[in-house]
A and B are shown apart, each in its own frame.
Chain A
Amino acid sequence: MTPNYPFNCWYVAATSDEVGEGLLARRLLDRPVVLYRRSSGDVVAMEDRCVHRAYPLSEGRRDGDRVVCGYHGFSYGPDGCLVDVPSQESVPPGARVRSYPVHEQSPFVWIWLGDRRAAALRPPPRVPWYGDGVAWASTTEVLRVEANYLLLHEHYLDLTDVFVMHPEAVPPDIEILPPLDEVEVSERSVSYSRSTPPSRLAAWEAEATGLSPDTAGVRREEGTFVSPALHVQHYAIDPESGKAYELLRIQGFTPESPGATHVFLQMARNYATDNDSAGDFLRTMFHEWATRDAAVLETIQRRLGEDTVARRDINVKADRAAVRARRIAMEMVDEESGRFTLNRILTASG
């Protein structure tokens, strides 16, 4: 399977709390990476492979801000430069492992694995969807799904599966999911929105918000493909009176390889913010939800892997945000691979 993800893109490498004093090994875009936090607090990311005998540096140990290989004791500085070879006095000049630009914006640590020089042209997406976050409470989770990252994007850009896969989560007065109101696009992003007729609350909504199950309100749902690395979903319950109860699921999708994806989830809510049990309830519920979805996507990935010739599957109207997102990702792949896919000549108007 050839990679269908762009390298010149910021991806989430880890959540902030995963990176500490220890050496965190993680395969990202099919490259071995080791992450750790320097004494200054800054995160370091470098290739997880000693330049001497290809042993993973993550199997070694820290020595201050340095990493010492667990095989022959070669030491590397945080910039990836080889600084010590125990068996000889001199260090081979210029020997280094590749280090990667990182940018921490809690709760995510972003990494750039593409052309290093292009990193400055595209800053990582900011995650400002809940303003300064003061009136919000959030939880994070890391999952791994054995499916291509585009299957995850497509899944979250078309939630019409909910009626089939999670019927208990559908508000009781909603019998069919209304069509998408709007799919909004720009050069690099796709966003859909939909609103439903008023409904009483599903059991999970009442439990999480603390509202009476008879509370009626419309639901506003938005999903955004921010980049190949990031999906943001916004779900609001708008009661007839009072404030909206908003839930955000901000998900970093980072290919581990063409066949598997790391999912970094931040879930934030603007209600029950000082109620930990509401947070625990939502976390457990969406964990079970995501696990069920992951099992389906993994099964699909295996079935796709059985195809010996490329097959075209059918899309429907509800897929139009997903269709567009896939195109954006593939255009990015083509542009950076320098493939002459198209001579994009516009026709002159008369």
Chain B
Amino acid sequence: MTTTEQATRSRAAYREVEVDLEVRRREAPADGVVTLTLAAPGGEDLPEWTPGAHIDLIMTPSLVRQYSLCGDTASRGEWRVGILLDPNSRGGSEFVHDKLHEGTTVRVRGPRNHFPLVSSPRYQFIAGGIGITPMVPMIEAAEATGADWRLLYGGRARSSMAFTGELERYGERVTVCPRDEQDTNFRKSLESALSVTDDKTLVYCCGPEGLLQAVEDGCGHWPDGSLHVERFSAKALEEPSPDALRSFEVECQRSGLTLMVPLDKSIYEAAEEAGVDVLGSCMEGVCGTCECDVLEGEPDHRDSVLNDAEKACNDTMMICVSRSRSERLVLDL
């Protein structure tokens, strides 16, 4: 997993765990891919994580990259990440290539998880290229808990696809489809994997944008909530968005009032002044007291309460600090 040019800014209310870790092992499981095994120089335990979690490697203050953890969740002392050395890198893989040798130290932040593995009797995992990394611990968890799972893994060429050796032991559960091999066809395998919907199966997908689009389209007829995807480039949602509007309209549905929220006022303040019954406390987006259901419109989330996935859902917001990206918001107020 890679990218975001800027550091995900530490939230004001919370600071994520940051530690300096040593590169214990550096291996090349495939052409153009390296895995780094990281550990605390003193051997201390690292924070717990679950499949789908990622960490930031803070290469320089302005060069921060996210990588999925792909080691063993039970190993408290070591983390493993898989990194694609992209020849068109914007700096991240160049830094990894040139600087992160065995014995060097790198600052690490996290872990956090936007792609958690929800318990299910069956899973369809779909990975494209380096998108295999979060799938490795997911597969281990699915295997350990006796879930029925399949992996469809596409890539450019077998030699460029990491972990195919480790995955061999799973036999027919795994379908590897390198583009340059005539006897495999990723698109056909994908179509057949998604053709029959099943409300007991969760689909987890990580890979390049084209793959995610294809999987989203392919899951169109699946029950809501079946598909879980992780994109290579995630937006730092706590940053005020350039799409945020300076002023916007808020319809308070229960009160039957419509208000304008100007630049110098929060939704909370505007609602309170209009006599709408609102509940708030910290006024900094940390305590969650003013959480309010969003019925229509797209909020610009600026709080520290909701996680990124919840923010992306846009069904609730903290009205003390968050604003709007749409001209009109309808709130349950």
Give the interface of A toward B (CB within 8 A).
Answer: 115, 117-118, 120-123, 125-126, 128, 182-189, 227, 312, 314-317, 319-320, 323-324, 327, 331, 334-340, 342-349
Question: Which residue of chain A has its CB nearest to the CB of B282?
Answer: A317
What are 5 of the A-B contact pairs (CB < 8 Å)? A121-B140, A315-B287, A338-B120, A346-B309, A347-B234
Interface string of B74-118 (1 = CB under 8 A from A): 101000000000000000000000000000000000111111111
The answer to whether the Cβ of B257 comes within 8 Å of any Cβ in the partner chain is: no
Contact residues in B for A182 (Cβ distance below 8 Å): 15
Assuming the contacts A186-B110, A315-B289, asked whether A122 and B14 have C-beta atoms less than 8 A apart, the reply is: no
Contact residues in A for B286 (Cβ distance below 8 Å): 317, 320, 323
Query: A227 CA to B313 CA in the complex, in Å?
Result: 27
Query: A279 CA to B123 CA in the complex, in Å?
Result: 53
Which of B26-34, B41-49, B167-175, B180-188 sits within the interface? B41-49
Question: Which residue of chain A has its CB nearest to the CB of B216?
Answer: A345
The answer to whether the Cβ of B194 comes within 8 Å of any Cβ in the partner chain is: no
Question: Which residue of chain A has its CB nearest to the CB of B228?
Answer: A344
Instruction: List 14 additional contacts besides A123-B76, A320-B304; criterion CB under 8 Å.
Output: A117-B146, A118-B145, A122-B48, A122-B73, A128-B44, A182-B15, A186-B16, A186-B47, A317-B281, A317-B287, A331-B116, A335-B117, A337-B119, A349-B4
Contact A121 B74 (CB under 8 A): yes
Contact A317 B308 (CB under 8 A): no
Contact residues in B for A316 (Cβ distance below 8 Å): 281-282, 287, 289
Min Cβ gap B11→A in Å is 9
Give the contacting residue for A128; candidates B45, B73, B231, B305; CB below 8 A: B45
Give the contacting residue for A185; candidates B17, B48, B118, B309; CB below 8 A: B17
Contact B48 A340 (CB under 8 A): no
Contact residues in B for A184 (Cβ distance below 8 Å): 14-17
Interface string of B277-309 (1 = CB under 8 A from A): 001011010111100000000000000110111
Assuming the contacts A122-B74, A187-B113, asked whether A346 and B288 have C-beta atoms less than 8 A apart, the reply is: no
Query: A125 CA to B46 CA in the complex, in Å?
Result: 11
Contact A187 B110 (CB under 8 A): yes
The answer to whether the Cβ of B193 comes within 8 Å of any Cβ in the partner chain is: no
Give the contacting residue for B48; candidates A227, A317, A331; CB below 8 A: A227
Assuming the contacts A123-B76, A349-B4, A349-B234, asked whether A343 and B313 have C-beta atoms less than 8 A apart, the reply is: yes
Assuming the contacts A324-B14, A342-B309, A345-B312, asked whether A187 and B47 have C-beta atoms less than 8 A apart, the reply is: yes
The answer to whether the Cβ of B230 comes within 8 Å of any Cβ in the partner chain is: yes
Min Cβ gap A96→B in Å is 18
Query: A95 CA to B119 CA in the complex, in Å?
Result: 28
The answer to whether the Cβ of B270 comes within 8 Å of any Cβ in the partner chain is: no
Give the contacting residue for A345; candidates B73, B116, B281, B309; CB below 8 A: B309
Assuming the contacts A122-B48, A126-B45, A345-B312, asked whether A340 and B287 have C-beta atoms less than 8 A apart, the reply is: no
**A-B pair number, CB within 8 angstroms:** 155
Contact residues in B for A336 (Cβ distance below 8 Å): 119
Min Cβ gap B285→A in Å is 10
Q: Which 6 A-B pairs have the closest CB atoms?
A: A340-B225, A344-B309, A315-B287, A186-B47, A349-B235, A338-B119
Contact residues in B for A339 (Cβ distance below 8 Å): 118
Interface string of B306-329 (1 = CB under 8 A from A): 011110110000000000000000
Min Cβ gap B277→A in Å is 13
Interface string of B244-282 (1 = CB under 8 A from A): 000000000000000000000000000000000001011
Contact B289 A314 (CB under 8 A): yes
Query: A109 CA to B120 CA in the complex, in Å?
Result: 30
Query: A342 CA to B226 CA in the complex, in Å?
Result: 10
Query: A348 CA to B289 CA in the complex, in Å?
Result: 29
The answer to whether the Cβ of B209 comes within 8 Å of any Cβ in the partner chain is: yes
Contact A347 B48 (CB under 8 A): no
Question: Which residue of chain B has its CB nearest to the CB of A192?
Answer: B14
Contact B144 A189 (CB under 8 A): no
Question: Which residue of chain B has its CB nearest to the CB of A316?
Answer: B281
The answer to whether the Cβ of B214 comes within 8 Å of any Cβ in the partner chain is: no
Min Cβ gap A343→B in Å is 5
Min Cβ gap B179→A in Å is 23
Interface string of B1-41 (1 = CB under 8 A from A): 00010000000011111000000000000000000000000
Min Cβ gap B113→A in Å is 5
Contact A187 B312 (CB under 8 A): no
Question: Which residue of chain A has its CB nearest to the CB of B234?
Answer: A346
Interface string of B132-158 (1 = CB under 8 A from A): 000000001100111000000000000
Contact residues in A for B305 (Cβ distance below 8 Å): 323, 327
Min Cβ gap A207→B in Å is 34
Contact residues in A for B115 (Cβ distance below 8 Å): 344
Contact B48 A186 (CB under 8 A): yes
Contact residues in A for B118 (Cβ distance below 8 Å): 334-335, 338-340
Min Cβ gap A221→B in Å is 17
Contact residues in A for B141 (Cβ distance below 8 Å): 118, 121
Contact A188 B47 (CB under 8 A): yes
Query: A117 CA to B121 CA in the complex, in Å?
Result: 13
Assuming the contacts A117-B144, A126-B76, A188-B48, asked whether A323 and B287 have C-beta atoms less than 8 A apart, the reply is: yes
Contact B225 A343 (CB under 8 A): yes
Contact residues in B for A183 (Cβ distance below 8 Å): 13-15
Min Cβ gap A72→B in Å is 34
Query: A115 CA to B145 CA in the complex, in Å?
Result: 7
Contact residues in B for A338 (Cβ distance below 8 Å): 118-120
Question: Which residue of chain B has its CB nearest to the CB of A322?
Answer: B287
The answer to whether the Cβ of B53 comes within 8 Å of any Cβ in the partner chain is: yes
Contact residues in B for A187 (Cβ distance below 8 Å): 47-50, 53, 110-113
